[in-house]
Amino acid sequence: MDKNVEEMTEGQSCAVDGSCCGADTRVAAEQPAAAACTLDPSAMPERVARWRALFGEVTAQDTGSTVATFCFPKTAETALELEELVKLERVCCAHVAWSFEERGAELVLTLEADAASLKAVVAGFMPEASQAREEGV
């Protein structure tokens, strides 16, 4: 049975792109001033490490200007970690719409945001891949 989890929220800040807690304010500056970061700055390194470990398992990706999809092998451990991280990011990185679903033998994460926010989040997940893409490699 396929599972689809989706929710769209509004706000600012993200552990991955550093837009909360006084880090990278380029993305945060584009968001409404009324939105507030709820991530404890001490939690950021652990959250980023979890995302980067998960993104080490990416088998395919498609990144457009406002939508990016990432495929992961469908394992119980990956599904649980992805589900938990998406729930956490919906709170602290609410300017991005987060959804994931099971498709056959893979899990597919879809992110939707304005171009600048999406670029920053993808760079946070996969900094080497983002840099290589910008350099045309």
**Whole-number Å distance between alpha carbons of 40 and 37:** 8
**Whole-number Å distance between alpha carbons of 7 and 119:** 20
Residue 132's pLDDT is what? 43
Q: What is the CA radius of gyration of the chain?
A: 14
Q: Who wins on pLDDT, 127 or 3?
A: 127
Q: Is the pLDDT of residue 108 over 70?
A: yes
Q: Is the pLDDT of residue 17 over 60?
A: no
Residue 134's pLDDT is what? 53
Q: What's the DSSP call for residue 108?
A: E
Tokens of 79: 């599904």
Q: Is the pLDDT of residue 33 over 50?
A: no
Q: How many CA atoms lie within 13 A of 29 on its CB side?
A: 5
Q: Who wins on pLDDT, 57 or 131?
A: 57
Q: Is the pLDDT of residue 57 over 50?
A: yes
Q: pLDDT of 78-101, one tens digit each?
A: 999 999 999 998 888 888 899 999
Helix then strand then coil, % of the chain, to nearest 5: 40, 20, 40
Residue 10's pLDDT is what? 37
By the 10 Å C-beta count (0-12 exposed, 13-18 middle, 19+ buried), 116 is classed as middle
Q: Is the pLDDT of residue 15 over 80?
A: no
Q: What's the DSSP call for residue 96?
A: S
- Buried residues in 96-114 as b, exposed as e (16+ CB within 10 A): bbbbbeeeeeebbbebbbe
**Whole-number Å distance between alpha carbons of 7 and 36:** 19
